[in-house]
Amino acid sequence: MSGYNIAKIKGVRIAGLSACVPSHVVENMIEGSQLFGDDIEAVVKTTGVEKRRTCPEGKITSLDLCIRAAETLRETNHFDFSQIGGIVCVTQTPDLILPNNATYAQQLLNIPQSTAAFDINLACSGYLYGLWIAGMASLSLDKPILLLDGDTHSHFVSTKDRSTAILFGDAGTATIIEPADDKTGWSFSFITDGSKRDALMIPEGGFRNRINEFSSLYREYSDGGVRRGIDMKMDGMGVFNFVVRNVPKSLEYLMDQTQKTIEDFDILALHQANLFMVRQVAKKIKFPLEKVPTSLQKFGNSSSATIPVTLASELENRVNKEKLRILASGFGAGLSVASASFELGPCVCTGVTEYEC
Amino acid sequence: MKDKILRIVSEILGSDVNENLTMADFEKWDSLKTLQIIMALDEEGISIPLEKIAKVKSVKDLIIFAEEGE
């Protein structure tokens, strides 16, 4: 097997993990019935998304959710935020185009001005990229790094577009990565195919296609979707095709290169795109489904945040007490895949808290 | 197996179908419906190879790919 790169880091650990979701619950069987009619039950069954958490646009942002998750970790009194050496924020829904979220997080969390702080613009592969970068930064600075990862994709989804309408929820997470006497190490592999960027994109609102007087108008497109230029467009089958051709190979390559097999892992943590995709990827690499946690039934697809949300939501009790060997993969817009092998726990995990809204 | 596939597709599309039906012929048959069909077939023990799912464009495709998945 060849064709991918492997990145390795040794000497860091995850010391804390926390997730935060809006308190507002969207029931897809109710909210989706107008768009899908009698098909809604089957659509919910196929996607697996029964409920989603969303926050009001313009009032609560992914940064708010991430900050709350970080504050929850600080309130455990296990972490001294004055010792944090860097803030990495993974998001595609920042408060502002300029400046970024990470620099504002420094002020909001009262982290010393000596901190390094920057954002990473990635979607569903973002958390594992964040772990990689934060791990390297922690080694380089010899200090803990605060990795914030959150998105509010519900804010640019058209309620009239069957391909995206009921999938997306909002969430923010915080992970603390610190230097440690770790001999196992983390491993990562990546796949990037920019030729397929049209499969998942927001066409307007960037600097290629600026917002114009038509950007907020709903239009019907040839794929049958009714949406605005500032809404997400998704070729679901195109993304699915990319995922099934690349994610299993990426995971198998990672195991091959690190001389590990499925038996060497306790958990397969996959991006929560939809239930069908998660199960198909697990089945393809013959990973037992009972070791593949899912949280999209409760929270929906929160883009880059689904992996830490799932770990915090479904494994909180175990992560607090025991060491879990995790195989993970995030995949989506780009199109982009990041896969990783790492250990999690025992460490501070505060599960999922709610942001009142 | 062919009869089982025809029955499942008919149930999901809400209309009697024959093996010549294509997605282009039936407006309501979109990619979500394809995934529903694949899941329902899977529950009945009929497996479509993962790499073939995006290539499904007709009932005939489902029958051919299901035979490959046996």
Question: In angstroms, what separates the C-alpha of B48 from chain A's closest C-alpha?
Answer: 11
Determine the average pLDDT of the residues in A97-105.
97
Determine the average pLDDT of the residues in A35-40.
90
Dihedral angle of Cα B2, B3, B6, B9, to the nearest 10 degrees: -100
How far from the centroid of its chain's Cα atoms is residue A167's Cα?
Answer: 14
Contact B31 A237 (CB under 8 A): yes
Question: In angstroms, what separates the C-alpha of A237 from chain B's closest C-alpha?
Answer: 6
Contact B30 A224 (CB under 8 A): yes
Contact A222, A233 (CB under 8 A): no
| Residues 315-344 (A) with a CB less than 8 A from some CB of B | none
Tokens 């993969």 — which residue? Answer: A329
Q: Cβ contacts of residue A207 below 8 Å, gap of 6+?
A: none
Distances (CA, A) of A287 to A178, A266, A270: 30, 10, 12
Residues of chain B with C-beta less than 8 angstroms from the C-beta of A199: none
The DSSP string of chain B is -HHHHHHHHHHHHTS---TT-BGGG-TT--HHHHHHHHHHHHHTT----GGGGGG--BHHHHHHHHHHT-
pTM of the model: 0.94
pLDDT band at A327 (very low <50, low <70, confident <90, very high): very high
Model pLDDT for residues A196-205, shown as the tens digit of each residue: 999 999 999 9
The token duo for A292 is: 């593949």
Q: Cβ contacts of residue A83 below 8 Å, gap of 6+?
A: A143, A144
Predicted pLDDT at A114 = 98
pLDDT band at B68 (very low <50, low <70, confident <90, very high): confident
Contact A276 B38 (CB under 8 A): yes
**Is the confidence at residue A1, as pLDDT, over 70?**
no
Q: The domain containing residue B10 runs over which residues?
A: 2-68
Determine the average pLDDT of the residues in A267-279.
95
Residues of chain B with C-beta less than 8 angstroms from the C-beta of A237: 31, 34, 54
- Which pairs with CB-CB distance under 8 Å and at least 24 residues apart come from A39-42? A42/B12, A42/B36
Whether the complex's predicted ipTM is more than 0.95 is answered with no
Second CATH level (architecture) for the domain A186-346: 3-Layer(aba) Sandwich (3.40)
Model pLDDT for residues A294-309, shown as the tens digit of each residue: 999 999 999 999 999 9
Contact A284, A244 (CB under 8 A): yes
Residues of chain B with C-beta less than 8 angstroms from the C-beta of A275: none
pLDDT band at A183 (very low <50, low <70, confident <90, very high): confident
pLDDT band at A182 (very low <50, low <70, confident <90, very high): confident
Predicted pLDDT at A2 = 58
pLDDT band at A39 (very low <50, low <70, confident <90, very high): confident
Model pLDDT for residues A47-83, shown as the tens digit of each residue: 999 999 999 999 999 999 999 999 999 999 999 999 9
| Residues 10-69 (B) with a CB less than 8 A from some CB of A | 12, 30-32, 34-36, 38-39, 50-51, 53-54
The token duo for A132 is: 């990689």
Q: How far apart are CA A216 and CA A267, in angstroms?
A: 42
Q: How far apart are CA B63 and CA B48, in angstroms?
A: 9
pLDDT band at B30 (very low <50, low <70, confident <90, very high): confident
Model pLDDT for residues A207-258, shown as the tens digit of each residue: 999 999 999 999 999 888 899 999 999 998 899 989 999 999 999 999 999 9
* Among candidates B31, B36, B50 on the partner chain, residue whose Cβ is nearest the Cβ of A236: B31
Across chain A, mean pLDDT equals 96
Residue in chain B closest to A281 (alpha carbons) equals: B50
**Is the confidence at residue A117, as pLDDT, over 70?**
yes
* Among candidates A237, A238, A280 on the partner chain, residue whose Cβ is nearest the Cβ of B50: A280
Model pLDDT for residues A132-168, shown as the tens digit of each residue: 999 999 999 999 999 999 999 999 999 999 999 999 9
Dihedral angle of Cα A177, A307, A245, A264, to the nearest 10 degrees: 70
Q: How far apart are CA A15 and CA A7, in angstroms?
A: 21
Q: Specify the number of domains making up chain B.
A: 1
User: SS3 for A326?
Assistant: strand
Q: Which CATH class is domain A8-179?
A: alpha beta
Question: Which of A170, A221, A171 lies closest to A198, judged by CA?
Answer: A221
Which CATH number do you get for residue B47? 1.10.1200.10
**Is the confidence at residue B69, as pLDDT, over 80?**
no
A58 inside 8 A of chain B by CB: no
User: SS3 for A304?
Assistant: helix
**Is the confidence at residue A16, as pLDDT, over 90?**
yes
Predicted pLDDT at B1 = 87
Predicted pLDDT at A254 = 96
Contact B39 A163 (CB under 8 A): no
Residues of chain B with C-beta less than 8 angstroms from the C-beta of A276: 35, 38-39
- CATH 3.40.47.10 residue window(s) in chain A: 8-179, 186-346
pLDDT band at B43 (very low <50, low <70, confident <90, very high): confident
Number of A to B CB contacts under 8 A, please give it. 40
Residue in chain A closest to B49 (alpha carbons) equals: A284
The token duo for A95 is: 């408060």
Contact A162 B36 (CB under 8 A): no
Contact A42 B34 (CB under 8 A): no
